[in-house]
C-alpha cells in the first residue's frame, strides 16, 4: 500500500499559504486609518460687530488658554487708529508646532509697508505645552483659519493672507471654499503639501498611527537650541500631534485644487528639509489661479531652508523676502 498522506499535505501547503497571505492583506487593508474627520471647522463664538471691541474679545479668549507662552497670543496690530479699516489687511497663519514668532517681523513689515492692519492668529494647541498640541484637531485649525480670514475682512478692504508651512495647507483649504475666494491675495511660504521625511506618509497608511508610534515613540521633534526657539516653537511634541496635520495634508492634496482661484505667490527652497519641494510644485501646478507665481528662494540663510525669513532663523533674509512679496503684491490689478 502506498502512503499518500504526506503527499496530500504537501499539496495543501500552497493553498494554506495563499489563504494566510490573503487574510494578512485583508487585515492590513481594513486596518484603522488616520481619518481626517468632517470637512468643516469646529463651531466657534462669533467676534463682536464693533471693531473697537475686537482687542478685548481676543484678549479675553486668549487669557483663558492655559499655559500660553508670552507674546504668542492672537492679536491685532492697528496701523493707525483702533477700529479704523485700512485698504489692506494682512493676516498671518503660522506653521505646525510654531507661533506668530516663526517669521517675525515679516508680517509686521508687510503691514507697515502696505498701510495695513495686521491680524496674527494662533492655531489651537500651539504656544502651549506639548500635551495641548497633541490634543488639537484638524477641525480646530480649520476654525482658526476661517476666523482669521473673517477678521481680516473686517480689518481691511482687501486681505493679504500670509501663511507658512502647514499654515499654507490651511490657506489652500480656505481658498477652495466659496467664502474664501473673494478679495483675498495669498502668499505662501514653504507650504506643506507633503513632508520631506520619507516615512511621514506612513501615518496615512492603514495602521499608520500605530506604525508611527512604533517608529517614533510617544514623542518626537528636536530640543530647542535656545530660549528664543523655545518661545516660538513647541518641541518636542507628542507623535499623535502629527496625525491631524498629516490627515489635513492628505485631504487638501487630494482635493480639487483648481477650485483655488485667488492670486497666489508661493515661495519655496529646493533645499527645504521639512517639506517636499516636488509636492509643492505639483500642488502649485494644479491651483486654478489665473495669477500665480512660483518663486524659488536660493539666498535664505535659514538652517533647514524651511523658515525662509524671520529674526530667529533667517534675519538677513527678512528684508529681501519682504521686498519680493511687496513687488509681487503691488503689481496685481486693483
Domain residue ranges in the chain: 37-196+248-330
Are the CB atoms for 30 and 41 separated by under 8 Å? no
The whole-number pLDDT of residue 176 equals: 98
Nearest to 151 by CA among 69, 219, 77, 259: 77
303 DSSP assignment: G
The whole-number pLDDT of residue 10 equals: 59
The whole-number pLDDT of residue 115 equals: 99
37-196+248-330 has which fold? Rossmann fold (3.40.50)
What number of other Cβ atoms are within 10 A of residue 260's Cβ?
Answer: 25
Are the CB atoms for 189 and 277 separated by under 8 Å? no
The whole-number pLDDT of residue 131 equals: 98
Which stretches within the chain are classed as H helix? 5-29, 54-63, 106-114, 130-135, 138-155, 166-176, 208-216, 227-232, 242-253, 277-286, 315-330
The whole-number pLDDT of residue 25 equals: 46
The whole-number pLDDT of residue 6 equals: 59
The whole-number pLDDT of residue 33 equals: 86
The whole-number pLDDT of residue 318 equals: 98
Helix axes 138-155, 242-253, angle to 10 degrees: 70
What number of other Cβ atoms are within 10 A of residue 331's Cβ?
Answer: 9
CA distance 70 to 122: 12
**HSE value, Cβ hemisphere, 13 Å, CA-based, for 80:** 9
The whole-number pLDDT of residue 268 equals: 99
- C-alpha separations of 307 from 269, 303, 324 in Å: 10, 8, 16
CA distance 94 to 169: 11
CA distance 156 to 211: 46
The residue ranges of the chain whose pLDDT is under 70 are 1-31
The whole-number pLDDT of residue 37 equals: 93
The whole-number pLDDT of residue 4 equals: 56
Give the pLDDT confidence of 81-104 residue by residue, as tens digits: 999 999 999 999 999 999 999 999
Cell 496625525, residue located: 243
The whole-number pLDDT of residue 198 equals: 80
Three-class SS of 240-289: HHHHHHHHHHHHHHCCCHHHCCCCEEEEECCCCCCECHHHHHHHHHHCCC
CA distance 192 to 179: 22
Are the CB atoms for 192 and 252 separated by under 8 Å? no
Amino acid at each position: 500500500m502506498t502512503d499518500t498522506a504526506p503527499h496530500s499535505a504537501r499539496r495543501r501547503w500552497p493553498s494554506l499559504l495563499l489563504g494566510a497571505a490573503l487574510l494578512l492583506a485583508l487585515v492590513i487593508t481594513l486596518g484603522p486609518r488616520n481619518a481626517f474627520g468632517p470637512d468643516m471647522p469646529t463651531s466657534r463664538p462669533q467676534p463682536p460687530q464693533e471693531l473697537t471691541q475686537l482687542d478685548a474679545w481676543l484678549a479675553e479668549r486668549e487669557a483663558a488658554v492655559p499655559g500660553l507662552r508670552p507674546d504668542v497670543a492672537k492679536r491685532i496690530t492697528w496701523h493707525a487708529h483702533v477700529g479704523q479699516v485700512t485698504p489692506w489687511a494682512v493676516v498671518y497663519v503660522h506653521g505646525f508646532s510654531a507661533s506668530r514668532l516663526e517669521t517675525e517681523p515679516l508680517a509686521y513689515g508687510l503691514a507697515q509697508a502696505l498701510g495695513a492692519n495686521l491680524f496674527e492668529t494662533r492655531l489651537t494647541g500651539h504656544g502651549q505645552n506639548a500635551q495641548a498640541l497633541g490634543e488639537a484637531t484638524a477641525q480646530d485649525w480649520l476654525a482658526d483659519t476661517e476666523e482669521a480670514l473673517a477678521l481680516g475682512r473686517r480689518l481691511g478692504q482687501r486681505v493679504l493672507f500670509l501663511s507658512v508651512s502647514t499654515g499654507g495647507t490651511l490657506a489652500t483649504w480656505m481658498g477652495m471654499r466659496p467664502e474664501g475666494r473673494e478679495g483675498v491675495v495669498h502668499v505662501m511660504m514653504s507650504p506643506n503639501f507633503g513632508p520631506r521625511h520619507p516615512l511621514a506618509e506612513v501615518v496615512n497608511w492603514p495602521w499608520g498611527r500605530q506604525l508611527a508610534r512604533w517608529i517614533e515613540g510617544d514623542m518626537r521633534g528636536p530640543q530647542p537650541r535656545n530660549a528664543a526657539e523655545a518661545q516660538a516653537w513647541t518641541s518636542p511634541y507628542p507623535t499623535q500631534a502629527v496625525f491631524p496635520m498629516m490627515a489635513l495634508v492628505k485631504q487638501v492634496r487630494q482635493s480639487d485644487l483648481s477650485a483655488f482661484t485667488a492670486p497666489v505667490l508661493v515661495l519655496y527652497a529646493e533645499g527645504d528639509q521639512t517639506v517636499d519641494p516636488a509636492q509643492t510644485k505639483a500642488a502649485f501646478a494644479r491651483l486654478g489661479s489665473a495669477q500665480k507665481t512660483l518663486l524659488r528662494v536660493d539666498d535664505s540663510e535659514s538652517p533647514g531652508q524651511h523658515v525662509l525669513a524671520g529674526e530667529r532663523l533667517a534675519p538677513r533674509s527678512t528684508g529681501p523676502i519682504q521686498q519680493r512679496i511687496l513687488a509681487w503684491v503691488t503689481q496685481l490689478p486693483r
